[in-house]
Amino acid sequence: MVAGVGVDMVRIERMEKSLGSEAFWQRVFGAEERAFLEKLSPARRAASAAANFAAKEAFLKACGKGLGGFSLADIQVLRAESGAPYYALRGAAAAWLAENGLHVSLSLSHEGGLAAAFAVLDRA
């Protein structure tokens, strides 16, 4: 049963500018996420970081939380060996999902200077 849906889009160019700030990196991306992004070429890094940011906001929307609902760095977005994206939640975000018996699925895309994310919460 679907318990929540969230979608968000981010301009890749906007993310490219934000990545120049170390404070932004620390506030928005968790350690595993930063390690993943730092391995990418600058162009791929900006597109992937934009998709990850969109995924964070999509997750918050699916949960019915605002931007202050959970720490953005606790909502990590990683990639499986196959390249499929997935959430690696920590802290309050992980606890909330477990307390509510929910599972979250994620789809990412980027095209034409935009990155998009779609999150679906369902009963675990």
What is the pTM for the complete model shown?
0.95
In contact, 12 and 64? CB cutoff 8 Å: no
Tens digits of pLDDT across the chain (124 residues): 999 999 999 999 999 999 999 999 999 999 999 999 999 999 899 999 999 999 999 999 999 987 778 999 999 999 999 999 999 999 999 999 999 999 999 999 999 999 999 999 999 6
Give residues with Cβ within 8 angstroms of 13, minimum separation 6.
Answer: 46, 113
In angstroms, the Cα distances linking 106 to 17, 44, 114, 120 are 25, 19, 17, 7
Which pair of tokens denotes residue 40? 């990418």
Q: Is the dihedral of CA 24, 30, 34, 37 positive or negative?
A: negative
